[in-house]
Amino acid sequence: MYDVFATDRLIDHWLIEDIGACDLTVQVMIEPDEVGAFYMNAREPMIVAGVEVAARVFQRYDPTLKVKLRVRDGDRVEKGAVLVEVEGAARSVLTAERTALNIAQRLSGIANETARYVAAIEGTKARLIDTRKTTPGLRMMEKHAVSCGGGLNHRLGLDNGVMVKDNHIAVCGSIAAAVARARKKLPVLTKLEIECDNLGQVHEAVAADVDVIMLDNMPIKDMVEAVAIIGGRAKVEASGGIRIDTIRAIAETGVDYISTSKITQAAVAVDIGLDEA
């Protein structure tokens, strides 16, 4: 799931940010030989994401700590569920506590928000996908959280596919010209997606034989017509201004995918705590 080396580099940065020179509180209050056992608990129902990284935070800070995962990312748990057990030097557990909780709370929040959107389109053919509007440095983890919540990942980065947007089209002069340029150098297994703002552009995109057509900020009635125009000759993605109260109507237009930044940008962190066993 996670690249351990990349994850460790992130964890080191997080710990340096939070600890500074030392955890002054534990240094003046907790003796070096004091030990303790602690549980990371769910304080509300949730879909879990990030607990494996949270466990890694404790072990990265102090490899002598005994850390046991009681759940896995993607599990749905009730309030009171034990997510992680940590045992060992009390100083170490208390110093790493906040960093571990922060990442699990953030990622589980994304998983929960994703699940809300997925549930809202249940029974339609549409699948929920994420965007590149993620927290800098946390993209892979946040996209993993989306998958824990039942969503799909769009491009992981700019090198994962060719998406021709309005500014690309403006530079090239037309959709046809933009697609022709892209086709000359497009890797053979790479998909080509084009963004369309209106039905005229949809006709142009279909004629250009692209793989995916994105309907950007289109009214519902235009989306219905666009799906009919495309007629299965390309996958259809709806994007732009998607909200929990509008996504169902969009899904019912017949699009294949719905992308939204709300599941990463507007997700609320869940309540997870660390308590003594």
Give the per-residue pLDDT at 1.
53
Count of domains observed in the chain: 2
Give the per-residue pLDDT at 2.
63
- The single residue of 70, 98, 132, 139 carrying the catalytic annotation is 98
Give 20's contacts (C-beta < 8 A, 6+ positions apart): none
In the annotation, is 165 catalytic?
A: yes
Does 131 share its domain with 254?
Answer: yes
Does 11 share its domain with 87?
Answer: yes
- The single residue of 70, 116, 132, 133 carrying the catalytic annotation is 133
Does 132 share its domain with 243?
Answer: yes
Does 31 share its domain with 80?
Answer: yes
What CATH number does residue 26 fall under? Answer: 3.90.1170.20
- The single residue of 23, 97, 130, 195 carrying the catalytic annotation is 195
Does 51 share its domain with 127?
Answer: no
C-alpha to C-alpha distance for 235 and 243, rounded to whole angstroms: 21
Backbone φ and ψ for 137, nearest 5 degrees, come out as: 90, -15
Does 105 share its domain with 151?
Answer: no
In the annotation, is 195 catalytic?
A: yes
- The single residue of 165, 181, 191, 248 carrying the catalytic annotation is 165
Give the per-residue pLDDT at 4.
79
Strands 127-129 vs 162-164: parallel, antiparallel or unpaired: unpaired
Give the per-residue pLDDT at 77.
98
C-alpha to C-alpha distance for 95 and 178, rounded to whole angstroms: 53
Give the per-residue pLDDT at 3.
74
3-state secondary structure 130-179: CCCCCCCCCHHHHHHHHHHCCCECCCCCHHHCEEECHHHHHHHCCHHHHH
Does 113 share its domain with 127?
Answer: no
Give 172's contacts (C-beta < 8 A, 6+ positions apart): 178, 181
**Domain range spanning residue 154?**
120-265
Token pair listed for 113: 């928000």
Token pair listed for 153: 């990942």
In the annotation, is 252 catalytic?
A: no
What CATH number does residue 243 fall under? Answer: 3.20.20.70
Token pair listed for 29: 């209050």
Does 181 share its domain with 104?
Answer: no
- The single residue of 113, 193, 216, 237 carrying the catalytic annotation is 216
Does 103 share its domain with 151?
Answer: no
Give the per-residue pLDDT at 5.
85
Mean pLDDT by 10 residues, the chain (277 residues): 82 97 95 96 98 97 97 97 98 98 98 98 98 95 97 92 90 92 90 95 95 96 97 97 96 98 96 95
Does 69 share its domain with 109?
Answer: yes
Does 102 share its domain with 124?
Answer: no
